[in-house]
A and B are shown apart, each in its own frame.
Chain A
Amino acid sequence: MAKNGSGSVLVVGGGIDGIQASLDLANSGFRVFLVESTPTLGGMMAQLDKTFPTNDCSMCIMSPKLVDCARHLNITLLTLTDVQSVRGEPGDFTVTVRRKARYVDESRCTGCGECTRNCPVTIPNPFDEGLSERKAIYRPFPQAAPNVFAIEKTGTPPCRAECPAGCNGQGYTALIRERKFKEALDLIRDRVPLPLVCGRICGHLCEAACNRHYIDESVQLRALKRFAADYEMKMVRREGWTALPSEAAAAGTGERVAIIGSGPAGLTAAWDLAKHGLRPVVFEALPVAGGMLRVGIPRYRLPAEILDYEIDLIRRAGVEIRTGTPVGPDLTMSDLLQQGFKAVFIAIGTHRGRRLGVEGEDLEGVHPALGFLKGASFGSLPFSVSGRTVAVIGGGHTAIDAARTALRFGARHSMVVYRRTRDEMPVSEQELAAAEAEGVKIHYLVAPRKIVGRDGRVASVLLTRMRLGAPDATGRREPMPVDGETRVLDADLVIPAIGQVPELTTLAEKLGEFRVTRDGIVPLAGVEMEGVRGFQEFLQDAASGRARADRNVLVIGGGNAAIDAARAAKRLGAEKVRIICLESRSELPADGENAKAAESEGVVFYHRRAPKRIVGRQGRLLGVETLECESVFDRYGRYFPRIREGSESFVEGDAVLVATGQGADTTLLDVADGAMITERGLLKVDPVTLQTNVPGIFAGGDAAGAGGLAVHSIAQGHQAAESIERYLRGEDLRAGRTAPAAFVAPVPLRAFAKVPPVEMGRLPLAERVGGFEEVERGFTEEEAVAEASRCLDCGTCSDCRQCVDACKAQAVDHSMTDRMEELHIGAVLLSPGCDRVDLGRLSRLGYGTCRDVVTSLQFERILSASGPFGGHIRRPSDGATPKKIAFVQCAGSRDPVDGNEHCSSICCMYSIKEAVIAREHEHEIQPVIFYIDIRAHGKDFDRYYERAREEYGVRFTRAKVARIRESGGPGLQVEYEKDGGGVAHEQFDMAVLAVGFSGGGRLRELGSIAGVPLNRFGFIASDPFSPIETKVPGIFICGPAQEPKDIPETVMQASAGAAAAAEILSENRWTEVREKSYPPEKKVEKLAPRVGAFVCHCGTNIGGTVRVAEVVEYARGLPGVVYAEDNIYTCSQDTQAHIRDMVREHDLNRVVVASCTPRTHEPLFQETIREAGLNRHLFEMANIRDQCSWIHMRQPDEATRKARDLVRMAVAKVCLVEPLPTIPLDVVQGALVVGGGPAGMSAALSLARQGFAVDLVEKEAQLGGNLNRLRTTIERRETRLLLERMVREVQSLPGISVHLGSRIESVEGFVGQYTTKISANGSGRREIRHGVAVICTGARESQPQGYLYGQDERVMTGLQFERLVHGSAAEDLPDRVVFIQCVGSREKEHPYCSRVCCQQTVKNALLLKGRNPRAEVCVAFRDMRTYGFFEHYYRSAREAGVTFLRYEQDDPPQVSREGGDRSRLTVTVSDAQCSQRLTIPADAVVLAARVDAEVDNHAISQLFKVPLNPDGFFLEAHVKLRPVDFATEGIYLAGMAHNPKTVGEAIVQGRAAAARAATIISRSTYLAEATIAAVNEDLCDGCGICAGVCEYNALQLVDAADGKKKVKLSEAACKGCGSCVAACPSGAMEQKGFKSGQIMAEIDAALVGSGEVTRT
């Protein structure tokens, strides 16, 4: 079909369907690319506990398939891979896939699990549906395939993304949580070489970004960082730790780099360069290193010794720091370059404050009133008034108070100067009178203009006369100066008490103006005056002890610099420190904690004030006039301050610190070579490389506008170091450095409890302001761990690199990235599975609101021995064993309002299974299943249902649960309709919601990528007659993505999908597969054993307990052993090569590996020795992991002794093993198909399309089987068209020989070589040679018993009715029809469901209503089993007015002809839904007659020696995973011969059988098993017991020469199960590979003491 096309198939989805399809394809000559989006194969089936109806362990039956699939030479397994696009046509598709990073090298990972022990991140385990936890590095489950680990990364955590230096907040937090403090600090130092410093003063942008603040408050990352750094410092001092991370300075070129400035940028660059083997020299102008860290941050926040310690470490890392060495006129940059420095990094910071001060001095004797009064109230004035003449300026209470107080403290004269009249004074007349009585003299209508001094002290006040003008806004008349009229008032103390709106113009001589601009507050030129200083200068002075103590300090600005200055001023003794800032509290750019601490120390904030001007007089500062700031940011959040004019108020102070901006001191650059372009006073650099316009000269930090925080400078330090290294290596400075922004991880999707942050200890307030001792005390260990535990692990993997250290196989690689790949393939098979019902919609049933309401899948995990509770049934809330469990069916299914319209098909059965298993686990459990209809429509399901009810006492209550809620204490209240009406409130301990399957979601996404449309249910649309084909040729679909279905139907569709792909690619079979070639096998039979023993450490998995070296030494001394060694991982790829080398080098002819379990690893080692030229069976394995190190974990001596024992046993056996040949058998590449119905034709067509010869044998005279009897399907498709199409193709395809009217006479042979004789109509015998056979003998509608069937022609079967409806004119159709379901089915003699009848009845009812709308249709049923999408038609039938009446099994409908009027047919039904008996007149009664197995099946079963079940249907090899195979190789089954099924299902199974058959007949030879049985004819006495136990029909009794019977083994048929060996009473049967002598040798070796070896 697709000549010259591809012989590869893409399978999308690695659930059981994808696995089955891949195996079928790969085993029949196609290359498979199996794409799976998770890290492992397995899908949902891997999560299940048991499977119904056989109660097999799901994982046990599945894991061999996982292993086969993952190891298959021709299956390329692409895990963690998504399909991105599909282009092309059948035979020639190009598919783009995205391979997500696993972060673990699959080829190196040995699956030992060491990494998980080191991983600090624990998250809910999705494999256990969140009921247990796992690490960020994980293997989904122990049997995962590939059996390797993966790391889950969900984005860059916001803390890390937000940190300018990229410091890994989540990483060090996770390590602190695990008490790995040293490792935490190492991780911090990766990006921050100053952790002690940053742990104290960092602006912690990380905390602002922390996702935890959405829950309660951010994690205190800075404090945690400080803790890790302090911890190390403490351990260095106390315990003698080495402070630096272990990696010492690397070897490098040793080139010298000059770094100017020893601030954070310079130190970081130097650190990086030194680490990489360069020799950085830091030049520092100041006498001490540290830059702004040293002189810009007060010591109570960053103690000097901390900084010293940290800088010392940097020095020790190989950084030379030359302090007191300014680069400037005396040492130019040219000098540096001449001295051999290869590059220069300028990181000089911003140390030139915009200094405003000029010369000037204070007048002694001017004191504000408030301070004066405050002092007075404490009884100690800040100055003496005794004997002074005091002038108080102002007219309010304060002024009068001051004047009166002055008198009390002994003032000679006390005067008040007021600019208005007595009438305007706000003071009461009584008070004024009292003051005057005490001697206070009040001067009205005068204002002070100048205070005149003498010898630096106040001498007099020059006053201006005032007059009253027009009334102002307050209604008082405004005082106006009267020009030229002045007077002098002698005074030696002046106390201004002028309130909020001072007459500044008259008071002040100097005014410094501010302007509020877009960039903040800018002081204008000319405001320089004494007492006004830049904060840098102030902090520098403070750091060096030169600072002066001002009493009343005003700080202008709202950043950290302002707060630092304020807090430092407080420590220097200022009484009053006020901060004037534009921003409100919440808008402050400063760190909130810093502001809080400042407040607690007494600093007062004046928020929303803009300084207008600084007011000074006579060289003395008076204060700051401010304006109200209405808002700081505009509505878009941009900085845009709005100032209210006319809102002046005055804040007094004797010192002003301006902290509103910084500039770089670039004077040194004036002498630098080349022109530095400066802009806004900063150095101009390339933002990526930090290179200036001069090559080799880089600049960074604040001087280059880094961003203002130390961490910004650190970031630029790293950036500069990187550039410098590239520059020195001559590389491109920019390449690869402009990576797109990382995806920032959101809040993880799970519930978090609120946990308040841990409060850090702080210096008691009383001790703070007195000195400069550090205020924050840091966390204790316990506090740090508790705080770290608040981390949400947003990125999942914390990137802490602990796994890298733990992995001895060096498999972990955090640098992996996603990558795209293109695949060229011939066909696509979609097997993605589907989603589950949206759990968010199940809250009414308690999901998410009641802890003890779980999903069915969660309950599977609870039941599982490998699950969260080790197989003990526990409820999540309190871990108690529930006594009563409610199983709630249809949670989101059959519910188009709250969920899905369709039925999910499998929930009824899995709930019954879960109820049964729960009861098996804990006998006291009382399970109750609430249901609408029990849909046990699969093979043998009804038996299981009955057993659950009868044997296990599961209670079935027919009611849909309306609500589940918690009932106060533990336990749940389940509400449903009580029998007979009313509401039942039943108490349960636990509830399990039967959550069904949902379309849409992932399927919609995949559908749009592959271009395949979805159907109305959200599943991938396909035709009912060919469910495998999508609407796009060459793209096929199987499994639950097509329709919800159980495992067998899924597996059938998977094989059918494989067949469909093989059909279009058959020309290219074997073109793209790889066949392995091996060296010839060495002949070893006559050679003395030369055993090589390889003993595995498995990291520390074995080596941590068992003393491996001792075992190796011991093995070396064992007889036959010529070589022994230990391996870290014996299974790793490089060890395989090594083993092959050792086999050759030491001429080994036997190999023993002592490691883990042969179940997973034996095939690998066998393959290895085969590649080395040894037969696979010259091998033995000793499991010293499971049996020694695991179960004797704490007994190393005993474990080691046992390991020696096991090795000794393995060696003893291996010396006796023999090479076993695989036996190639010829294969006849043709198939026999028995039965020409839809399944048989489908199988025949598929095989023929694949190019195989087919003989199709049909006993009837025509092809078609039941297709001849049907008319339409429920989807209104005409079966006649299908029949015609199939028959036409069968007849036209050259490979098919049709034998009509023929029967099988005899069958001989075995897989690959069958000879079958058929006869046509009893004559004309014919012999057919075929390699395989497919049995599709079908089934048929039974003849009903009772219901007047056969006595009244108006009583008919479903098929008869279907013919009637199609064959009659509309007016002849009956008006009143009653359908009766389960006629002959689900009863004692026939305890199975016929599966097809419910949908057939719905189909016929709809058909009748369609043709005769007035028809009254009733359906009497027991359970409506319209599974899957059929539910839609059931609903349509109800909408069309069909009446459904439910009857109980013990009270079936009665059909009668009434006594008088015999022509009237009546059906009587007891309707359980309204507890009434209804008599219904009927024109026709339609019986849903049971489907019977063909009677011929018995004969066929004996001919092919394949089994039947009790109902006469064929019994497949395994009901779940091998639904089209028989245990006997080469024989398959399909269609109704297997179980009743619809036409579509039969066609699928027929095609599936073709795929299975192709795995044999696509090859010309068949390799039979090597480890099979062997008969010792001398010992055989012909008893035949062995033949009886053989399931594979491999043993037959034959006549021997001496007339006795002997048993003969068919080697091709033998599967090596060993049953015959065990059964044989005479010891004639032996099992190759497990011969008696070999086993005895092993036992003997076990019984010899391990101390010495006596056997030789």
Chain B
Amino acid sequence: METIDLSQLDGDFKNEIASRPGAAFFKRCFSCGTCTASCPVSEIDEAFNPRLIIRQALLGMKKELLSSERLWFCAQCYTCFARCPQDVRFTDVMAVLREIAVEQGYAPARMKEGTPKVDTMAQVLRHGIAEYLWRAARGEEVAEIEKRLKTELSRGLKELA
């Protein structure tokens, strides 16, 4: 078990977060784990743990949190937001953390612009893949869709890069 000196952490970080719109209630968290258990990202990537993110924020692990790539993994699905018994509003807290990360130079600004693009692209691809699967399952011609998806993907990746 790693040992952390609490005095080396930023005790004021939690107040900094809570002072921003959307994160006013995040200190209410009592670590019940409903958010994590509801999270589709946690489902596929156990390292992404909303409950732990709140914990780290409360303890003041600012640098570690804001420099983490996991900050950008939240899919903004709002399931945790809806289910949280203490109304912590994790999805909004996540947005606040991203904001601070960019503002204070922990993350490049393009991440902030890029993630909505990722969301949009994911939706487009999802739609296309569903169509692809549907048609393929019915034995229809899918080469055209496949081609279109590949184009879409490479175009999107280019745009993000």
Query: Which residues of chain A have a CB within 8 Å of any CB of chain B?
Result: 844, 890, 894-899, 932, 959-963, 975-978, 980-984, 1416, 1418, 1424, 1434-1435, 1438-1441, 1443-1444, 1446, 1468, 1470-1471, 1473-1481
Bound: A608/B126 CA distance, A: 53
Nearest neighbor of A1446 in chain B, beta-carbon distance: B31
Closest 5 A-B residue pairs measured CB to CB?
A977-B33, A982-B46, A962-B37, A895-B85, A960-B32
CA gap between A1141 and B61 in the complex, in Å: 90
Among listed B3-11, B94-102, B151-159, interface-contacting one: B3-11
> Is B85's CB under 8 angstroms from A981's CB?
no
- Nearest to B43 among chain A residues (CB) is A983
Contact B27 A983 (CB under 8 A): no
Q: B55: which A residues are within 8 A, CB to CB? A: 1471, 1473-1474
Q: Is there contact, CB below 8 Å, between B37 and A963?
A: yes
Contact across chains for A975 and B87 when beta carbons are under 8 A apart: no
* B93 within 8 A of partner (CB): no
Point out the residue from A982, A1418, A1441, A1479 that lies within 8 Å of B42, measured CB to CB. Answer: A982
Q: Which of B15, B25, B33, B55 gathers most chain A CB within 10 Å?
A: B33
CB-CB contacts of B85-128 with A at 8 A, as 1s and 0s? 11100000000000000000000000000000000000000000
* Contact status B37-A959, CB under 8 Å: yes
User: Please, which residue of chain B has its CB at the minimum distance from the CB of A1434?
Assistant: B30
Task: Give the chain B neighbours of A1473 by CB distance below 8 A.
Answer: 31, 51, 55
Q: Which of B4, B15, B25 contacts A1478 (CB 8 A)?
A: B4
Known contacts A963-B38, A983-B36, A1474-B52; decide if A1441 and B14 are in contact (CB<8 Å). yes
What is the chain A residue whose CB lies nearest that of B18? Answer: A1441
Q: CA A932 – CA B37 in complex, angstroms?
A: 14
A1440 to B14, CA, bound (A): 11
Residues of B within 8 A of A1438 (CB): 27-30
Shortest B49–chain A CB gap in Å is 4
Min CB distance B89 to A, Å, is 10
A1082 to B52, CA, bound (A): 83
Distance to closest chain A CB from B110 (angstroms): 28
| Residue pair B29, A976 in contact (C-beta under 8 Å) | no
Q: Which residues of B contact A1479 (CB under 8 A)?
A: 3-7
B2, B14, B37, B58: the one contacting A984 at CB < 8 Å is B37
With A932-B30, A1439-B27, A1479-B5 as contacts: A982 and B87 at CB distance below 8 Å: no
* A931: nearest chain-B partner, CB-CB: B32
* CB within 8 Å for A1478 and B37 given contacts A1438-B28, A1441-B27: no
Question: Which of B2, B14, B31 contacts A1477, CB < 8 Å?
Answer: B2
Chain B: interface residue count, which band? 35 or more
B47 at the interface (CB under 8 A from A): yes
Could you show 27 A-B contacts with beta carbons less than 8 Å apart? A896-B85, A896-B87, A960-B37, A962-B34, A962-B37, A963-B83, A976-B37, A977-B36, A982-B36, A983-B38, A1418-B6, A1434-B30, A1435-B28, A1435-B86, A1438-B27, A1441-B27, A1446-B31, A1474-B52, A1475-B1, A1476-B2, A1476-B4, A1477-B2, A1478-B3, A1478-B6, A1478-B59, A1481-B6, A1481-B7
Q: Is the CB of A890 within 8 A of B29?
A: no
Q: In the complex, what's the smallest C-beta–C-beta distance from A1369 to chain B, in angstroms?
A: 23
For B14, B25, B30, B32, which residue has the most chain A Cβ atoms within 10 angstroms? B32
Chain B residue at minimal CB-CB distance from A1418: B6
Query: What B residues does A1434 contact at CB under 8 A?
Result: 30
B84 within 8 A of A: yes
Contact between chains at A1443 and B30 (CB < 8 Å): no
Please measure, in the bound complex, the distance between the C-alpha atom of A960 and the C-alpha atom of B37, giving whole angstroms: 9
**Docked-complex contact B1 and A1476, CB < 8 angstroms:** yes
Give, as a whole number of angstroms, the nearest-CB distance from B26 to chain A: 10
Known: A1438-B28, A1480-B6. Is A962-B56 also a contact (CB below 8 A)? no
- Is B47 within 8 A of A981, CB to CB? yes
Chain B residues positioned under 8 Å from A1475 (CB to CB): 1
Q: Which residues of B contact A978 (CB under 8 A)?
A: 46
Do B87 and A1476 touch (CB < 8 A)? no
Smallest CB separation, A1549 vs chain B (Å): 31
User: Closest chain A residue to B38 by CB distance?
Assistant: A962
Contacts of B58 in A (CB 8 A): 1443
A interface majority secondary structure: mixed
Q: Mark B45-89, 1 if CB is under 8 A from A, else 0.
A: 111110110011011000000000000000000000001111100
Residues of A contacting B31 with CB < 8 Å?
1444, 1446, 1473
Given the contacts A932-B32, A1438-B30, A961 and B52 also touching, CB distance less than 8 Å: no
Docked-complex contact A1474 and B38, CB < 8 angstroms: no
* Closest chain A residue to B29, Cβ basis: A1438
Would you call B46 and A1468 a contact (CB within 8 A)? no
CA distance A1441 to B25 in the complex (A): 11
A897 with B87: CB separation less than 8 A: yes
**Is B86 a contact partner of A962 (Cβ separation < 8 A)?**
no
> Which residues of chain A are within 8 angstroms of B5 by Cβ–Cβ distance?
1478-1479, 1481
A977, A984, A1439, A1470: most-surrounded residue (chain B CB, <10 A): A977
B37 touches A981 (CB 8 A): no
Give CA–CA (A899, B86) in the complex, Å. 11
CB distance from B36 to the nearest CB of A (A): 4
Q: When the two chains form their complex, are residues A981 and B42 in contact, meaning their CB atoms are under 8 A apart?
A: yes
Q: Are A983 and B39 in contact (CB under 8 A)?
A: yes
Residues of chain A lying within 8 A (CB to CB) of residue B30: 894, 932, 1424, 1434-1435, 1438, 1444
In the complex, A980→B25 CA distance in Å? 25
When distances are taken between beta carbons in the complex, the residues of chain B under 8 Å from A898 are 85
How far does the alpha carbon of A978 sit from the alpha carbon of B42 in the complex, in Å? 10
Report B-chain residues with C-beta under 8 Å of the C-beta of A962: 33-34, 37-38, 83
Chain B residue numbers with a CB within 8 Å of A1443 are 58-59
Enumerate chain B residues within 8 angstroms of A1474, measured Cβ to Cβ.
52, 55-56, 59
Q: Is the CB of B15 within 8 A of A1441?
A: yes
Q: Taking the nearest CB of chain B, how far is it from the CB of A897, in angstroms?
A: 5
**With A959-B32, A981-B42 in contact, do A894 and B52 touch (Cβ < 8 Å)?**
no
Looking at the assembled complex, report how far the CB atom of A683 sits from the nearest CB atom of chain B, in whole angstroms: 68
Q: Please give, as numbers and ranges, the residues of chain A lying within 8 Å of B2 by CB-CB distance.
A: 1476-1477
Tell me how far the C-beta of A1649 lies from the nearest C-beta in chain B, rounded to whole angstroms: 72
CA distance A981 to B14 in the complex (A): 22
Q: Which listed residue (A963, A981, A1444, A1471) contacts B36, Cβ 8 A? A: A981
Q: In the complex, are the beta carbons of B27 and A1477 less than 8 A apart?
A: no
CB pair A894–B4 under 8 Å, yes or no, is no
Of chain A, the residue at the smallest CB distance from B60 is A1443
In-complex Cβ contact of A897 among B29, B38, B48, B84 (8 A): B84
In the complex, what distance in Å separates the CA atom of A897 from the CA atom of B31?
A: 16
Q: Which of B25, B28, B34, B52 has the most CB of A within 10 A?
A: B34
Cβ of A1416 and Cβ of B28 under 8 Å apart? no
For A960, give its contact among B33, B42, B46, B47 (CB under 8 Å): B33
Cα–Cα, bound, A1478→B5 (Å): 6
Distance in Å: Cβ of A935 to nearest Cβ of chain B: 13
Min C-beta distance of A1415 to chain B, whole Å? 10
Question: Shortest beta-carbon distance, B25 to chain A, in Å?
Answer: 8
Q: How far is the CA of A844 from the CA of B83 in the complex (A)?
A: 9
- Chain A, residue nearest B51 (CB): A977
Q: Are A894 and B43 in contact (CB under 8 A)?
A: no
The reply to whether A981 and B46 form a contact with Cβ atoms under 8 Å apart is: yes
Contacts of B84 on A, CB cut-off 8 Å?
897
B15 to chain A, nearest CB (A): 7
Shortest beta-carbon distance from A1487 to chain B in Å = 19
CA distance A1470 to B4 in the complex (A): 10
User: What residues on B are CB-neighbors of A984 within 8 Å?
Assistant: 37
**Chain A residues near B32 (CB, 8 Å)?**
890, 932, 959-960
Q: Are A890 and B85 in contact (CB under 8 A)?
A: yes
Q: Which residues of B contact A932 (CB under 8 A)?
A: 30, 32
Contacts of B46 in A (CB 8 A): 978, 980-982
Chain B minimum-CB-distance residue to A895: B85
Bound complex: CA A844 to CA B79 (Å): 12
Pick the residue among A1424, A1439, A1446 that contacts B28 (CB under 8 A). Answer: A1439
The answer to whether B85 touches A959 (Cβ under 8 A) is: no
A1441: B residues at CB distance < 8 A? 14-15, 27
Q: Are A894 and B56 in contact (CB under 8 A)?
A: no
